[in-house]
Structures are given as structure tokens and as C-alpha cells.
């Protein structure tokens, strides 16, 4: 029977060991097991060292880093929380409070297109190869001009109603995560309004975290598109700091004058804090049955989960 040699220290020898080699040095492997020794010839050692460094340099060379600042074309002012990414690939980031961003890509992304999307601005898409060739570091977005469509609530005696999921299962919850710690994470809830014009008074969602007391979120409204969240329904930047230690959180929306006629998706978008490097940020409440929607990257694909629905609702006046 093989015995373990307590005094054996194979790592102290000038050798590179495979697992079987370590076992052999300690007297617990068959004698036929071989070890791989470092070459004694100085020239051979130097050649191998150079080869290792070359391979390492190739691995570093396979990454691309884009850095810059996003500004408004008219005012030349920084735009915070711009969604920046490669569509359909779940690769992205969000600009910081002062408009700066940094995005690390792989060499294979050189031929892709980088898109900049911000509430209230025209979307801009640029080839990554062109950005690198021109060493572009400033990116300008033009404000979007949209004609306001007046929606009239015709009810003689408007009533306040709630639409969505107003309760939760205490044993059911989901965990919000991002692909990268400096990117967004977003939840969406389908809201049916019974085909009545509605003034959105507030949005309520159940959020909890054991890591943070609060976080910054953007409230989005999306048009339905093939059963999934599509284009933005309104071009209003609604950014709020929300507590994560209370459970149910209500965001007042009446000051924004939002009136809609059709069903929509309510989006709760977590905005990254670049001083906090975490992929798992908070949990959200849910109820059994139905479905919900999530995405883990700026301009990323929406994913639908079935069997549970997000504990969120809106309060409206109809």
C-alpha cells in the first residue's frame, strides 16, 4: 500500500509537476509516473520564457477598450446614464454621471456596431472599426423632437384604479443581475389598461437587498412589440433613488403628465454605480403564474420567464 510522506515538499524543488508528478514525489504514486523538469540549458530556458511571454501578449492583444464621453450636440453638455452597447449580443455599459464610459470588447467585436441610446435623444450607431481607426473619444447625440399627442380622459367621474400585480408570494422572488458590474439590469411588467385612456399616477414595485440600502433606477415605459418590450413609449427621463430595505416602493409619476391609451410594459432599470462592483444587486418580489421579462445588458435582448410574474403595478386615473 502506498504511504504518504509527511516530510515531502515537492513544491520546494525546481520542478513543474503535474498532479501525478506530485503524488510520485510524495511516494504515493507508481514508480513509473514521470515528472516534467525544467531544462537545465540556460538558452532553452530563455526560449521557453520568451514563448510564454509571447503567448501572454497575444491574449492581452485580443481585447479592445473603448473610452470616451457622451455629450448633447446642442448644449455640449455631458449626458449621464446613456445605454451603450452592441445590439443582440448582450455586450454593453452605461455612461457615468458625468457622461464618461469605458467598454472592453474582444477582437471579434471589431466588425460590430456600437449603439448609443438615451432618453430624449436620437439613437446613434457607429462601426467599432471606425471608432478605433479615428480614435474617437467624444460622441454627440441630438435631441429628439416628438410631437405631443393629446389624450383626453372622457369619463365624467374619473376613477383611480390599480393595474398589475398588487401582491406577492413571500416564498417566491427573483435575483437581478448584470452581465458586467458596470452595466444595467432591467425588469419589465406588462400592464393592461382595459383599452381606456389612463393618466399614470404612480408605479409600485417590490425590491429588497441585503447588500445596499438604496440604488438608482430609471422608470421606462415601452410599447409592446411581438409580445416583448419594444420602443420607448415616452421620452421622459425618470431617474429616482429608491430604498432597497422597505419592500414595496412607490414612484410618483403624476408630475410627468403621462397619459396613455393602450397597454404597455413598465420597465424598472437599475443604473450601475461604478464604485460598486457587484453582479447581483437586489431581489424582486413575484407571484405565482403569468410571466415576466428581464435583460442584463444595455440594449440587450429581453428574456421572458414563465411561471411567475413581477410584483409590480401602476396606479392610474381613468
pLDDT (0 to 100) of residue 28: 38
Nearest to 174 by CA among 207, 143, 147: 207
> What is residue 35's predicted lDDT score, i.e. its pLDDT?
45
Quick one: which H or E segment has residue 206? strand 198-208
Residue 154's pLDDT is: 62
Report the chain's C-alpha Rg in angstroms. 27
| Whole-number Å distance between alpha carbons of 180 and 110 | 19
Q: Per-residue pLDDT tens for 247-277?
A: 999 999 999 999 999 999 999 999 998 766 6
Which residues in the chain land under pLDDT 50?
Answer: 1-36, 56-60
Look-up of cell digits 393592461: 192
The C-alpha cell of 218 is what? 430609471
| 93: its cell numbers | 455599459
Confidence at residue 8, expressed as pLDDT on a 0 to 100 scale: 40
Nearest Cα residue to 141 out of 118, 163, 158, 169: 118
The whole-angstrom separation of Cα 124 and Cα 114 is 8
Total H helices, total E strands in the chain = 3, 22
User: What is d(CA 230, CA 306) in angstroms, rounded to the nearest whole number?
Assistant: 19
Q: What is the pTM of this model?
A: 0.78
Between CA 34 and CA 224 the distance in angstroms is 65
pLDDT at position 281, please? 80
Which cell goes with 192? 393592461
- How far does Cα 35 stand from its chain's mean position? 46
Amino acid at each position: 500500500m502506498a504511504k504518504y510522506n509527511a516530510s515531502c515538499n515537492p513544491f520546494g524543488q525546481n520542478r513543474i509537476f503535474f498532479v501525478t508528478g506530485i503524488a510520485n514525489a510524495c511516494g504515493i504514486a507508481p514508480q513509473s509516473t514521470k515528472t516534467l523538469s525544467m531544462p537545465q540549458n540556460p538558452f532553452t530556458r530563455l526560449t521557453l520564457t520568451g514563448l510564454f511571454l509571447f503567448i501572454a501578449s497575444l491574449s492581452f492583444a485580443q481585447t479592445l477598450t473603448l473610452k470616451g464621453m457622451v455629450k448633447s450636440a446642442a448644449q455640449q453638455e455631458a449626458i449621464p446614464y446613456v445605454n451603450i452597447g452592441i445590439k443582440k449580443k448582450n455586450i454593453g455599459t452605461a455612461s457615468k454621471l458625468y457622461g464618461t464610459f469605458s467598454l472592453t470588447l474582444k477582437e471579434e467585436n471589431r466588425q460590430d456596431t456600437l449603439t448609443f441610446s438615451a432618453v430624449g435623444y436620437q439613437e446613434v450607431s457607429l462601426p467599432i472599426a471606425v471608432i478605433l481607426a479615428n480614435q474617437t473619444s467624444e460622441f454627440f447625440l441630438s435631441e429628439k423632437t416628438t410631437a405631443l399627442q393629446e389624450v383626453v380622459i372622457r369619463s365624467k367621474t374619473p376613477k383611480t384604479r390599480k393595474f398589475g400585480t398588487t401582491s406577492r408570494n413571500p416564498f417566491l422572488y427573483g435575483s437581478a443581475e448584470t452581465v458586467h458590474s458596470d452595466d444595467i439590469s432591467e425588469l419589465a411588467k406588462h400592464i393592461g389598461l382595459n383599452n381606456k385612456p389612463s393618466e399614470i399616477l404612480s408605479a409600485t414595485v417590490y425590491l429588497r437587498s441585503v447588500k445596499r440600502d438604496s440604488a438608482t433606477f430609471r422608470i421606462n415605459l415601452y410599447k409592446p412589440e411581438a409580445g416583448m418590450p419594444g420602443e420607448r413609449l415616452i421620452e421622459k427621463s425618470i431617474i429616482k433613488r429608491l430604498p432597497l430595505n422597505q419592500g414595496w416602493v412607490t414612484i410618483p409619476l403624476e408630475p410627468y403628465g403621462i397619459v396613455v391609451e393602450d397597454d404597455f410594459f413598465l420597465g424598472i432599470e437599475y443604473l450601475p454605480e461604478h464604485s460598486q462592483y457587484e453582479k447581483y444587486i437586489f431581489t424582486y418580489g413575484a407571484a405565482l403564474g403569468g410571466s415576466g421579462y428581464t435583460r442584463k445588458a444595455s440594449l440587450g435582448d429581453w428574456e421572458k420567464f414563465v411561471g411567475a410574474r413581477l410584483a409590480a403595478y401602476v396606479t392610474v386615473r381613468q
